Amino acid sequence: MLVPSDMIGAQSKLMNQLEKYQAHQVSDRNLGIRKTILDVCTVVQDMLKEVEAQEPRFISSLTELNGRYDGLRVLSPTEFEVVLYLNQMGEFNFIDDGSMPGCAVLKLSDGRKRSMSLWVEFITASGYLSARKIRCRFQTLVAQACDKSTYRDSVKMMNDASEVKIRIREKYVVQITPAFKCNGVWPRSAQHWPTMPMTYPHPQLVAQVKMEGFDLLSKESTTLQNKQSSSSMEGDAWIISFQEAENQLLIGASRKKCLSILKTIRDRHLDIQGNPVTSHVLQVLILHECEKHPGEEKWEDHSLGDRITGIILQLISCLQCRKCPHYFLPSVDLFRGKSASSLDTAAKLAWRLLRELLTNTKALESL
Ligand code: CTP
């Protein structure tokens, strides 16, 4: 058994290892991805300029803000998602009655004429703004823009029936998702959050996050896929995304650093066919872990090793149960639509990683 001084020694060794991992592997990953993003965004911005010229309602929102691209999310070093924020959602009411977990519909406000709306041709007979109809139109525009773009030799529209995806230089995949920003509102389906008065998140942070609100994305819902009672409304529904809220919740201590380290481990060891372990899954697991360890000191550098192994252990447990509940919408399973075999493979790989981290003090040097 370890005596306290050995424990302190072991802890500081681990801290040292994590510092090195951060300075080399994490930083190399980020620099490499940043370079790719600059290249990819030049092509995407040019293409979106073409879209905008053809259809002024689809104004590009892909701009750089403080050294980051607004609305861009890194899915893997070669895959990105760009959220294109549309303007003018004004005349619609947001309805999430829980009938489609993780989704909401936008209904034309009473008294508003369909024909007066900016989005007239995308409104269904019953007055819903259809996510699918908007995406179909956008897909056609992107296909045309790819042909016209300055970079037409390096950009190809991918044959994906339901999503807008382009392949750049035969190497990178960018999914472009039309969306509406909903600031200052909080969905009914996440009303229970935070579940109980907790030290984490601090009430002030909760208020800030709720003010930030959420996004409504036009993309195929994996939550609704394979559901028996598929109603025709599903294609018209919008997916609720809390990306910005989730980012804000990681502010403070080394929570953000923890995510960067886990993303690097993921890219190097858990990037497998079917992509069961997404960076979103890791972020959500961190948020669950933040509730389990609410104290700020539990997220300082000296505890980071414990947090990382704790999160990997939780990941294994989720993979084995084949369920990973969304942080704000627990009825939404982030593993929905993933094959059992990819979840099993990921569980085995994660076990191997965890065993290595727990038994070999120099494990991070080779991870
Ligand atoms: N990046 C960017 N614009 C974005 C997202 C990421 O330019 N919207 C770049 C950043 O330089 C970042 C790198 O891509 O360092 C990798 O991003 P990510 O996968 O999100 O990793 P993190 O470790 O979370 O990045 P950071 O710590 O820089 O936030």
Q: Is the CB of 34 under 6 A from ligand 1?
A: yes
State how far the Cα of 238 lies from the Cα of 233, in Å rounded to an integer: 10
Ligand 1: atom nearest CA of 70 is 8
Q: What are all long-range contacts of 65-72, with beta carbons under 8 Å and residues at least 24 apart?
A: 69/37, 69/41, 71/179, 72/37, 72/41
State how far the Cα of 129 lies from the Cα of 115, in Å rounded to an integer: 12
Q: Is the CB of 149 under 6 A from ligand 1?
A: no
How much is the pLDDT for 229?
45
State how far the Cα of 138 lies from the Cα of 148, in Å rounded to an integer: 15
> Which of 26, 33, 244 to probe ligand 1 with, by most ligand atoms within 8 A of CB?
33
Q: Is the CB of 68 under 6 A from ligand 1?
A: yes
CATH architecture of the domain 250-367 equals Orthogonal Bundle (1.10)
> Which of 22, 70, 74 to probe ligand 1 with, by most ligand atoms within 8 A of CB?
74
> Which of 80, 260, 264 to probe ligand 1 with, by most ligand atoms within 8 A of CB?
260
**DSSP conformation class of 285:** H
Ligand 1: atom nearest CA of 67 is 7
Q: Is the CB of 259 under 6 A from ligand 1?
A: yes
Q: Is the CB of 33 under 6 A from ligand 1?
A: yes
∠ CA 346-351-353, rounded to 5°: 95
Residue closest by Cα to atom 23 of ligand 1: 260
Task: Give the distance (Å) from ligand 1 centre to CA of residue 228.
Answer: 38
Instruction: Mark the ranges of the chain whose per-residue pLDDT is less than 70.
Output: 1-8, 89-90, 197-198, 222-232
Residue closest by Cα to atom 9 of ligand 1: 34
Pairing of strands 64-65, 72-76: unpaired
State how far the Cα of 103 lies from the Cα of 97, in Å rounded to an integer: 9
Q: Is the CB of 286 under 6 A from ligand 1?
A: no
Contact 166, 155 (CB under 8 A): yes
Give the count of alpha carbons within 13 A of 177, CB side only. Answer: 24
Amino acid sitting at position 9: G
> Which of 27, 34, 85 to probe ligand 1 with, by most ligand atoms within 8 A of CB?
34
∠ CA 353-261-17, rounded to 5°: 75
How much is the pLDDT for 113?
81
Ligand 1: atom nearest CA of 74 is 19
How much is the pLDDT for 235?
85
Element (H, E) at 318: helix 304-321
How much is the pLDDT for 228?
46
∠ CA 199-329-275, rounded to 5°: 110
What lies within 8 Å, CB to CB, of 108 at 6+ separation is: 91, 92, 93, 114, 117, 123, 127, 128, 129
State how far the Cα of 9 lies from the Cα of 17, in Å rounded to an integer: 12
Ligand 1: atom nearest CA of 26 is 23
Ligand 1: atom nearest CA of 38 is 7
Q: How distant is the alpha carbon of residue 249 from its chain centre?
A: 14
Stated length of the chain: 367
Q: Is residue 220 helix, strand or coil? A: coil
